[in-house]
Structure 1
Amino acid sequence: MVALKLATSLDGRIATSAGDSRWVSSERARAEAHRLRACHDAVAVGSGTALADDPELTCRLPGLENSQPVRIVFDRRLRLSPDSTLARTSDRAPVWVLTRTGADATRRAELEARGVEVIEAGEPFLPSALAELARRGLTRLLVEGGGTLAAALLLEGVVDRIHLVHAPLVLGADAVPAIGPLGVERVARAPRFVPVESVELAGDRLTVLEPAGSGGE
């Protein structure tokens, strides 16, 4: 099961044009994100998000500190720094980096020295990477960004659920979109989802959606 978690402005943006994203959503919405992490086998981001935000991706809610998911970076070009927060905290919760076959051996050794597990995936990269995770027993994956990875998952048709938080603010067309290009030329061919749950979170609106035709409508 692949769940996509998005926290966006009203116009679907996740950061300003300067890259500032703290904080688009409310503290209550961020707490819900931590709860979601504890409910999944793994939490994942793309390499762009890992480089731009330097996230920790742990669950930091009181009482759930021992419910840590595997932290995953989809990093085809193996760009994650061994000095990143993820690499430096690999002793707190496992960190796996999914990369292409034959990736940079020096960078791989640097990451492995930090305790990061580097996993090679074949082509096509994304389906192969997801298959590697399933083979290792990870069946509940929470993806937190960024836009490139979100778009790739939607194009593959593997997103089973979306947790969408809308914050009551507008960032504009020059801000960073939550979802990258999909190449959709006709509305009829757009990935379509239906809401199955909606709740207010301290002024934000959380909507849970599932694919149309999956039983959610």
Structure 2
Amino acid sequence: MSRAISLARRGPARGVNPQVGCVLLRPDGSTAAEGWHRGAGTPHAEVDALSQVVPGEARGLTAVVTLEPCDHVGRTGPCSVALIEAGVARVVHAVDDPGASSGGGAERLRRAGVEVVAGVLAEEASEMARRWLVTARTGRPFVTLKWASSLDGRTAASDGSSRWITGTAARQHVHEQRAAHDAILVGTGTVLADDPSLTARGDGGELLPDQPVPVVVGTRSVPADAALCRHPREVVETGTRDLEAVLDDLGDRGIRSVFVEGGPTVASAFVRLGLVDDYVVYLAPTLLGGPRTALDDLGVDHIDRQRRLRVTDAHPLGDDLVVVARDTPRRHA
């Protein structure tokens, strides 16, 4: 299963499909074939692996897969059926498929007489496929909330100036995070106050190949001369502050991950609604004081109602520190 997880990571991390890896084993434990999913419209990992085996020689093999074989017809046929027709005797998978239409492959396999073992290295495989699993379970895009602040939690000086709290290494990391998401979201207040471009750029200022779709939340229009209007992707103006409706609409557009860079009003609204899956916070070794905090009121009127997070990563970026955290107890995979 560790090898299958490694294979899965070769597939695209963005898009509507999960990263999945598959290893086909002979009865003596040797590897007969390997496969992984290369993106929407391409063979799934199981079919990719089966394609490397001479017809008829898959009979009696064990398929080790990071995700329960799918049981629906999309751009490709059900992997459960492909495994049954190939004569695979045993299927070992790490994570159950939570999809309403795609799940159920394990049950079909069992009905066909195939031995099924679930839950092998489930935690490791779940972490690898976490974004896709969250979307499959919640029905909305995966949300990452980002802010950069001083050690005392300020995102700007009292006059509103904020360039630059963090150093170049942290700012470049932000651009990499933008490129790793399908969309980047801010409020109209940020657009009007800062005139951001919201592009993902490299060290030399060049545009990176992967650009997030810019999304603006709010009822005010983006000015025609705003830097955002020169973004390589078309701007999505939501015309509403209803964040749940916004996420539903983005999901309908095929967007599966959203990087939120809005100011404290937008950021706090996402937190209050419980819509944040990952927090990415850049801390600069400086003190600003004043009223410009990263978050507004979250409704925490007593210490017992604090929103306790679990840190999953923390490391220096130049003189700054990036901290990645999520809710605890964990609500998603």
TM range (shorter): 0.7 to 0.9
Q: 1:121 is matched with which residue?
A: none
Consecutive unaligned residues in structure 1, runs of 5 or more: 101-123
Instruction: Name the SS of the counterpart of 1:30 in structure 2.
Output: helix
Matches within 5 A, 1:4-15: 4-15=145-156
Which string of whole-angstrom CA distances, capped at 9 and with x for unpartnered residues, describes residues 8-27 of structure 1? 00111111111111001110
Which string of whole-angstrom CA distances, capped at 9 and with x for unpartnered residues, describes residues 103-157 of structure 1? xxxxxxxxxxxxxxxxxxxxx8121111111111111000012100010000110
Which residue type is aligned with residue 59 of structure 1? A
Instruction: Name the SS of the counterpart of 2:239 in structure 1.
Output: strand
Which string of whole-angstrom CA distances, capped at 9 and with x for unpartnered residues, describes residues 18-37 of structure 1? 11110011100000000000
CA contact (8 A) 2:272 2:299 kept: no
Give, in angstroms, the shift of residue 79 of structure 1.
Answer: 3.7
**What TM-score comes out, normalization by structure 2 length?**
0.54
Q: Specify which of 176, 179, 193 is matched with residue 35 of structure 1.
A: 176
Kindly name which structure, 1 or 2, has the bigger radius of gyration based on alpha carbons: 2
Q: 2:245 is matched with which residue?
A: 128
1:78 and 2:194 are equivalent in the alignment: no
Matches within 5 A, 1:86-97: 86-87=228-229, 89-90=230-231, 92-97=232-237
Give, in angstroms, the shift of residue 177 of structure 1.
Answer: 1.2
Q: 1:195 is matched with which residue?
A: 311
Matches within 5 A, 1:67-216: 67-75=210-218, 77-87=219-229, 89-90=230-231, 92-100=232-240, 125-174=242-291, 176-214=292-330
- Distance in 2 separating the partners of 1:95 and 1:64: 17
Which residue type is aligned with residue 158 of structure 2? S
Matches within 5 A, 1:40-59: 40-59=181-200
Q: Choose 186-195 or 33-42, whichever is displaced more.
A: 186-195
Which residue type is aligned with residue 52 of structure 1? A
CA contact (8 A) 1:58 1:93 kept: no
CA contact (8 A) 1:147 1:180 kept: yes
Matches within 5 A, 1:8-23: 8-23=149-164
Instruction: State the percentage of identical aligned residues.
Output: 38
Consecutive unaligned residues in structure 2, runs of 5 or more: 1-141
Instruction: Name the SS of the counterpart of 1:43 in structure 2.
Output: strand
Give, in angstroms, the shift of residue 190 of structure 1.
Answer: 2.4
Give, in angstroms, the shift of residue 64 of structure 1.
Answer: 6.0
CA contact (8 A) 1:7 1:24 kept: yes
Instruction: Name the SS of the counterpart of 2:144 in structure 1.
Output: strand
Instruction: Name the SS of the counterpart of 1:185 in structure 2.
Output: coil
**What TM-score comes out, normalization by structure 1 length?**
0.82
Structure that is richer in strand per residue: 1
Cα 1:136–1:180 change in 2 (3 A) is: same
CA contact (8 A) 2:148 2:155 kept: yes
- Distance in 1 separating the partners of 2:202 and 2:277: 25
Higher relative contact order by CA 8 Å / sep ≥ 6: 1 or 2?
Answer: 1
Instruction: Name the SS of the counterpart of 2:238 in structure 1.
Output: strand
- Count of matched residue positions in the alignment of Structure 1 and Structure 2: 189
- Distance in 2 separating the partners of 1:179 and 1:215: 22
- Distance in 2 separating the partners of 1:152 and 1:213: 20
Which residue type is aligned with residue 195 of structure 1? V
